[in-house]
Structure 1
Amino acid sequence: MTSYSVRMSGYGQPPGQPYYQQQQPTHGAPAYAQQPAYQHASPGRVQAGGPPPGADPTLWSWFVAVDQDRSGQISADELRQALTNSNWSYFNPETCRLMINIFDRDHSGTINFQEFCGLWQYLQQWRATFDSFDTDRSGNIDQRELQTAFQRLGYSLSPNFTRLVLSRFDTQGHRALKLDDFIQCCVLLHMLTDSFRARDTQKRGVIQINYEDFMTMTILGKP
């Protein structure tokens, strides 16, 4: 099978847990609660029996509100109906699927309350990170801000690559990324970098890879 030599110069050391995860989580309303995103649920409504022992009652009430079919699990579609960007648009479906997959430990395609708590904290950290790079407070990350974000997150990437990423993940056509676009972009970049690093055993920034392996890495983002 044909092999290809791929060079990825200076891909840095993307942290296993990004630097912003070292911060304390923001308490209070979750990211999606900062704007009224609920259509058919009340965040104060709690299922019979109340929250599990030791659970945060506020998080439990949000979990119940998002769990519209009362299954005890939250799907990507349900999550999307609860999350909004600063311009009131709902999160894009792919970002919601990515986040569900990250916290879906039992591979059910949905998340339970415990997994939801992890996702809630994850969202708070992403919003704090997004806000730290949105230096002009526009509610979007433009090319200059995205280039800075990549550098701060440990990636040595060219401005040309940043422009390419921006054109790929900009879902609003404004040459800027909303919060959901930014999360999707950074998560996929991290996954692909992990896949590359797993193959770059000599840490030279160069790998040799066959065609199917390359396709698996780029499509699935897996080592």
Structure 2
Amino acid sequence: MAYSQGAYGGQPMAGGAPAGPFSQPVDPVIQQWFVSVDQDRSGQISTSELQQALTNSNWSRFNEETCHLMIGLFDRDMSGTINLGEFQALWTYIQQWKGVFDQFDRDRSGFIDANELNNAYTQMGYRLSPAFSSMVVFRYDPQFRRQLSLDNFIQSCVLLKTITDTFRQKDAQAQGVINVGYEEFLSMVMLNRH
């Protein structure tokens, strides 16, 4: 992975959750959306509730893994669900991810290819090879169309963000190289699967 100082995902909208507590005022539109998604009226949104609420451009539901990863990224109290404040932060990021996706889905097909994905990653502050982006498309395209839907794009962004953050913790000098043992590497990967 190549990067310049602080640029391997260092942009503010690099695909992940903000670090601190969610203290901004709740947008009434987001609160209304939260209430409609919270089907069991628990005051929390589960993976399955989020999955029921999110659709791709072809009206297919987001896959469960994407919803699980997004909840894991924003679930500050580790409850397996997100509250209104966490949902508001997630919703902001979903809109940002969708904005990037839409910018590179120039034919408005609801899909992006490996080249478009690589350009999207670059815009988000990552400098990754075209071969890496092709591998991501291969990994996240279950129908082997050589393109990603919005939810698979978001899933790749969440994983790229969390794994980059873990890498960054080990790369104190921002050299782009870390030295870890096999089990530590496995732990880094497993912990980032939420």
Please indicate, yes or no, whether the TM-score normalized by the shorter chain is above 0.5. Answer: yes
| 3-state secondary structure, aligned to 1:207 | coil
Q: Which runs of 5+ in 2 are unaligned?
A: 17-24
- Is 1:205–2:162 an aligned residue pair? no
User: TM-score when scaled to structure 1?
Assistant: 0.74
Please give the alpha-carbon distance, in whole angstroms, between the structure 2 residues aligned to 1:20 and 1:168. Answer: 18
1:10 is matched with which residue?
3
Q: Residues 55 and 203 (structure 1 numbering): CA distance in 2 closer, same or farther, change over 3 Å?
A: closer
- Is 1:151–2:122 an aligned residue pair? yes
Contact between 2:112 and 2:147, CA under 8 Å: does it hold in 1? yes
- Structure showing greater Rg: 1
Query: Counterparts in 2 of 1:32-71, with a 5 A limit?
Result: 55-71=26-42
**Aligned length in residues:** 183
1:38 is matched with which residue?
none
**Over residues 189-218 of structure 1, what are the superposed CA-to-partner deviations in whole Å (9 max), with x where a residue is unaligned?**
122122222222233322211111100112
Q: Residues 61 and 154 (structure 1 numbering): CA distance in 2 closer, same or farther, change over 3 Å?
A: closer
Q: Residues 201 and 62 (structure 1 numbering): CA distance in 2 closer, same or farther, change over 3 Å?
A: closer
Contact between 2:15 and 2:124, CA under 8 Å: does it hold in 1? no
1:115 is matched with which residue?
86
Q: Residues 143 and 16 (structure 1 numbering): CA distance in 2 closer, same or farther, change over 3 Å?
A: closer
**Over residues 155-179 of structure 1, what are the superposed CA-to-partner deviations in whole Å (9 max), with x where a residue is unaligned?**
2222222111111111332111111
User: TM-score when scaled to structure 2?
Assistant: 0.84
2:156 is matched with which residue?
185
Residue type of the alignment partner of 1:75: S
Contact between 1:9 and 1:206, CA under 8 Å: does it hold in 2? no
Contact between 1:103 and 1:119, CA under 8 Å: does it hold in 2? yes
- Is 1:73–2:44 an aligned residue pair? yes
Q: CA deviation at 1:117?
A: 1.8
Q: Which runs of 5+ in 1 are unaligned?
A: 1-7, 22-53
Contact between 2:11 and 2:125, CA under 8 Å: does it hold in 1? no
Please give the alpha-carbon distance, in whole angstroms, between the structure 1 residues aligned to 2:141 and 2:78. Answer: 29
Q: Residues 204 and 114 (structure 1 numbering): CA distance in 2 closer, same or farther, change over 3 Å?
A: closer
| 3-state secondary structure, aligned to 2:178 | strand
Q: Residues 60 and 10 (structure 1 numbering): CA distance in 2 closer, same or farther, change over 3 Å?
A: closer
Contact between 1:147 and 1:159, CA under 8 Å: does it hold in 2? yes
**Over residues 134-157 of structure 1, what are the superposed CA-to-partner deviations in whole Å (9 max), with x where a residue is unaligned?**
122221111110111122222222
Structure with more of its chain in strand, by fraction: 1
Please give the alpha-carbon distance, in whole angstroms, between the structure 2 residues aligned to 1:136 and 1:130. Answer: 12
**Aligned residues: CA RMSD:** 2.2
Please give the alpha-carbon distance, in whole angstroms, between the structure 2 residues aligned to 1:14 and 1:92. Answer: 24
Structure with more of its chain in helix, by fraction: 2
Q: Percent identity?
A: 55
Residue type of the alignment partner of 2:105: D
Residue type of the alignment partner of 1:68: Q
Q: Residues 145 and 114 (structure 1 numbering): CA distance in 2 closer, same or farther, change over 3 Å?
A: same
1:167 is matched with which residue?
138
| 3-state secondary structure, aligned to 2:9 | coil
